[in-house]
Chain A
Amino acid sequence: MNAALTFAQALIWFWLEAVLITRFLRGDWRRFPLVFTYVVADFLVAAAETPTIWAITFRSTQAARSWGARVYERGEVFLEFFTFVLVISLISRACAGFRSRRLMQAACVAGAVLFAGISFQAHYDSRIVPGLWMAPWTRDLNLGASILDLALWTLLMEQRKKDQRLLLLSGALGIQFAGAAIGHSLRSMATHYHAWPSMLGGRW
């Protein structure tokens, strides 16, 4: 049942991503090059993770789990940092006419690096498997990204001429960050209590 649900979700996700990439290729990738690159990177990371997920689901050997964990960790870290870059670039785009644009960019980059670094220092532990410290770390990164997204949303709402597309892009990102933060929280709780939250963790 769990595998069937994961398969159905993955199927719909890949189909929607393919539709999105096709729409970008009609010309919008020139207006949103970084968003397009993020979509392609997200697609490629998910495509790389899929065989490992199936290997773990159907043949849960130690080698399969270790391979899956390595691919997942690298893909997750890459996408988390790409997400920060994407949100900061959207903020920069939203405050294009501001005098303090450079200052805002610098503050966002410095804040994001500081936040990610402090959270890494707080959770990293070389004695445990990476998945155990990565879950609370990625939870914090998603929380940081959602705070940046909130700033982006505020900037967009303050503009007289509302950019509906940017509002939809940032709103959707906000939903994803909130869901991912909840999911990673449940995952880290599950490792402590070995309980039902682990079942929900991957669904968010």
Chain B
Amino acid sequence: MTKDTGRSTAGAEAPRAMTSPLLLLAAWLVPGLGHWILGKRRRALVFFAVVVCAFLTGVLVDGELGTPRPGEPFSWLATLACLGNGLLYLARLVWINGVSGALGGLPFGLDGGGDPIAVGFTYGNTFLYTGGLMNLLLMLDVSDIARGEKD
């Protein structure tokens, strides 16, 4: 049985077009917005709901947003994963640190929130990382769709 994965074979022959940076920026800032702009409305709504649910669950069970810390290389990976949440990440950072605190705390003085002794702390972190990584995958998907390699 063949599965319809949406992967197009036309991209192999046609020259690859560039994806608009603005489209990728939109896809990063708001989960699903890239798909919405490309006319994939149903998928966009599902992706938006999934990423927002993952992020909110992470916050509600006291997960900590990844922020860079000196001497801790893995904190950069956590930051990259969480940064994938786009506006949600930025809004949460501002919520915790305030606007001046978020700007003044760059790069090592940011508070990621969360409660390390809370029961849901590690679960919360996992949800926050997962949401961000899913949105990064969505950006790649948007790029593929925009270049005509997927439908």
Partners in one complex: no
